[in-house]
Chains A and B, each alone.
Chain A
Amino acid sequence: AQKITQTQPGMFVQEKEAVTLDCTYDTSDPSYGLFWYKQPSSGEMIFLIYQGSYDQQNATEGRYSLNFQKARKSANLVISASQLGDSAMYFCAMRGHNFGNEKLTFGTGTRLTIIP
């Protein structure tokens, strides 16, 4: 079974500061993928970044980077130079790579509020 834990229900961050959203996971799959999604107040789920468990380097996408520490089973999302438009719910998710275990398992989310 897979499990995602997000321990920060809410965060307030000053605009232009960097922010780290925590995510730890548990799985018995030897190969898996880790995802972050953003859900603004409008409700859609926006894919942000993906990290494969065997990727040697941490994933980066613009202002988003994933701090992947495999031994600690953590996959924290780092947003640099935060903007007001970053205010949203953020979900960490994982998916196994074995047949039949490909569903995404989500954490409970972190509500990020950027303060002007």
Chain B
Amino acid sequence: NAGVMQNPRHLVRRRGQEARLRCSPMKGHSHVYWYRQLPEEGLKFMVYLQKENIIDESGMPKERFSAEFPKEGPSILRIQQVVRGDSAAYFCASSQQGMNTEAFFGQGTRLTVV
């Protein structure tokens, strides 16, 4: 049973380019969460999705950031026109339906904007 899979592990983009981060949840998990971690800081919530639905996007910047979790395929976090301040580790977590369950994290994607 594979864990949460994120790819790529490392991503380098020039300012102004687009970054696409992918997350495949654990088998049987229908809830996906995206978090951002700046250097030497804790994880900040960005968005919570279920299949084809955004449940909570209160942590998403209003511009340039979007997320989806289609019926088929991985969840995608998309950052348009990246800036240096977007450089961070982006983590995806997944959990089963139901609240009394653990959330397991992927290994993260480290985005560097040059």
**Interface, chain A (partner B; CB < 8 A):** 31, 33, 35, 37, 43-47, 50, 52, 91, 93, 95-98, 100-109
Contacts and interface: CB of A to CB of B under 8 A. Distances in A.
A83 to B, nearest CB: 22
Contact of A109 (B42, B48, B93, B104): B42
A46 B100 CA distance: 18
Nearest to B58: A103
Interface in B35-87: 35, 41-45, 48, 55-56, 59
A43 B9 CA distance: 11
Interface residues on B, range: 20 to 34
Contacts of A35: 102-103
B22 interface: no
Contact of B33 (A31, A37, A104): A104
Contacts of B102: 35, 47, 50
